[in-house]
Structure 1
């Protein structure tokens, strides 16, 4: 193996072999292709590590401020009031910034990872040595993906720890609902699966297009499209639950009560019949001019009260794992395509 793909092992200025701090002392060092990949992308890797550490420390500090405030005031109900609104806004913004991780991973790490080497000719130079194409490609993928997973998992864990003090409070802001992307996509397993998907998509696009800037633009478009599709289908992984009343209908009739932090689904309350059937709000709409006629119409359809569909917060982790499973399956398919393409058409 040439010195291009390994860490030279010559003596240091101190007279000790490289990688040793003195007699009987040694420290592990990367070698071979792993050393080459680290050297080539060390600026991006250290930047990722540094930003992760800074953001995590910032979240720890803000969580401390939040818990100090919550300990100093009693819990209230009826919405966010007073100074709590400021803490809720910071938490909302913190989650919003984390939702950009998949875009950053795909556009700035995935797309240039292989496209840059193909465009500059570095890939041909490296693989003309004793390093095979598949080994070079899998090392770049594994090292970068591993670092991304580690950094994303740290950020997700710290953010969920920041959110945990207000998770069960009745006065939590609606913007911090567990079904919103700021919470659902930035806690648990979800951000790791999401980042891996967009990263591998970026690598695949870069490998096919072979131009860094073009690959970044195309990856941005694909990542945005993935986000739109995911936002549309996110809640479809949940099992909708219904709550109903049997006290009749009208202004004085009781309405269904939802559990704490349950998120209502649908367009509003439904009419509930004696057989358990749900009728939407347009039922007997043509009889609204007369209250008597409207009530008679509802009675003819055996309406006994109201019903509402909702998703309980207890399903959050199950939904996250199901969504992450879909994303990880898509990631595996993209990786398989990348490896097959790399073996046959990389250069």
Structure 2
């Protein structure tokens, strides 16, 4: 490349020349030996976010740091509570001694479970309202979306970065909390019958269930924000959406399992009925009497009689020869969670596709 000499700065031998692209050649401005390598090494050792990823993180860093801090604090609390519980169980003599006899001594640890599970079940709702709803609604409301659309970055890339970084933060937080809570609960999971594993406090806080619920709540909130284009309105509607989602999930989750029926050995009509045994941690759905023809009667049958003899005559007249119990064993818990999570994740994927196909047209 040809060079142009700057008279005001050139020396006797022309040692400092300025090129056409504005750079300066010459010994006076040469970098010290090894400085370039040091700069390259420093950049390699300290990776930083850049481009659109940096912009999204910078814009929502308060929300992301809040999620990270809350996750760390909750994990620390659960680790502490598990250590306390294990110390008690070791002193009690578990598992050699049955937890059925633990009585009120175990109440403080059940109280710790209750306090933590209350917070964990609220996580999908809080993430949907506080993170999902304002994610794009805020940009649409204050005009940031128009500013982004005027830049060289495409809407698809902007939307993809927003959703990907948010989904990553939600997934990492919920996976961590789910794993640590399951680790805490696992030692007594099969031994303490007073905890019902089908309740939302335990079913919705372990395995893939909290991850799927949180992602659907967050991306559902994002879609609501794109439609309403107002942050406060989107947060209110998202609150209703997430509460309704929790209610529907609670109503249908038991249908994900396979019902097991245990039937007692038949006896003569009018004879004392012995109910069949079921696993101690099983969730019982229904208990009924069974007649010789296979017809089922409610347990209130013949309870209006005043004497044992009259009750026996009533049951003999109804031809009741046994009893049956419908239940779902705890061994199905994991498969039920994964089946339900796959349905929720499919709905989440549908929302994401809809945001890219239709929603990105409204991002201005």
> For 1:247-262, what aligned pairs fall within 5 Å after superposition?
247=267, 252-262=272-282
**How much has 1:83 moved relative to structure 2?**
2.3
Aligned residue in 1 for 2:353: 336
Aligned residue in 2 for 1:6: none
Aligned residue in 2 for 1:82: 104
Indicate if the aligned counterparts of 1:205 and 1:218 stay in contact, CA closer than 8 A.
yes
Larger Rg: 2
Aligned residue in 1 for 2:124: 102
Q: Distance in 2 between matches of 1:207 and 1:239?
A: 39
Pair 31,24 (structure 1): closer, same or farther in 2 beyond 3 Å: closer
Q: Helix, strand or coil for the counterpart of 1:207?
A: helix
With 143-152 and 27-36 compared, the bigger mean Cα shift is at: 27-36
Pair 308,147 (structure 1): closer, same or farther in 2 beyond 3 Å: same
Indicate if the aligned counterparts of 1:92 and 1:176 stay in contact, CA closer than 8 A.
no
Indicate if the aligned counterparts of 1:134 and 1:342 stay in contact, CA closer than 8 A.
no
Confirm whether residue 213 of structure 1 aligns to residue 235 of structure 2.
no
Which ranges of structure 2 fall in alignment gaps of 5 or more residues? 1-34
**How much has 1:232 moved relative to structure 2?**
1.3
Count the aligned residue pairs.
Answer: 326
**How much has 1:42 moved relative to structure 2?**
1.3
Indicate if the aligned counterparts of 2:223 and 2:359 stay in contact, CA closer than 8 A.
no
Aligned residue in 2 for 1:156: 178
Indicate if the aligned counterparts of 1:240 and 1:309 stay in contact, CA closer than 8 A.
yes
Q: Distance in 2 between matches of 1:249 and 1:80?
A: 40
With 153-162 and 50-59 compared, the bigger mean Cα shift is at: 50-59
**How much has 1:307 moved relative to structure 2?**
1.2
Which ranges of structure 1 fall in alignment gaps of 5 or more residues? 1-15
Q: Distance in 1 between matches of 2:57 and 2:195?
A: 39
Q: Distance in 2 between matches of 1:324 and 1:79?
A: 36
Q: Distance in 1 between matches of 2:52 and 2:221?
A: 22
Aligned residue in 1 for 2:46: 27
Aligned residue in 1 for 2:285: 265
**How much has 1:88 moved relative to structure 2?**
1.2
Q: Distance in 2 between matches of 1:119 and 1:288?
A: 70
Aligned residue in 1 for 2:323: 306
Indicate if the aligned counterparts of 1:20 and 1:27 stay in contact, CA closer than 8 A.
no
Aligned residue in 2 for 1:10: none
Q: 1:204-237: CA deviations, max 9, x gaps?
A: 0001101101100000011111111111112111
Q: 1:266-319: CA deviations, max 9, x gaps?
A: 3xx31123354433235567x846866654554455421111111111110011
Aligned residue in 2 for 1:281: 299
Indicate if the aligned counterparts of 1:247 and 1:254 stay in contact, CA closer than 8 A.
no
Q: Distance in 1 between matches of 2:311 and 2:103?
A: 40
Aligned residue in 1 for 2:4: none
Q: Distance in 2 between matches of 1:204 and 1:248?
A: 63
Q: Helix, strand or coil for the counterpart of 2:103?
A: coil
TM-score by length of structure 1 reads: 0.86
Indicate if the aligned counterparts of 1:202 and 1:216 stay in contact, CA closer than 8 A.
yes
Q: 1:74-93: CA deviations, max 9, x gaps?
A: 33354651321111110122
**How much has 1:254 moved relative to structure 2?**
1.9
Aligned residue in 1 for 2:67: 48
**How much has 1:27 moved relative to structure 2?**
2.6
With 202-211 and 301-310 compared, the bigger mean Cα shift is at: 301-310
Q: 1:138-168: CA deviations, max 9, x gaps?
A: 1100101111101110010000001112112
Confirm whether residue 230 of structure 1 aligns to residue 230 of structure 2.
no
Indicate if the aligned counterparts of 2:269 and 2:316 stay in contact, CA closer than 8 A.
no
Confirm whether residue 316 of structure 1 aligns to residue 344 of structure 2.
no
Q: Distance in 1 between matches of 2:201 and 2:269?
A: 37
Aligned residue in 1 for 2:164: 142
TM-score by length of structure 2 reads: 0.82
Pair 52,274 (structure 1): closer, same or farther in 2 beyond 3 Å: same
Aligned residue in 1 for 2:151: 129
Q: What root-mean-square deviation, in Å, do the aligned CA atoms of Structure 1 and Structure 2 show?
A: 2.6
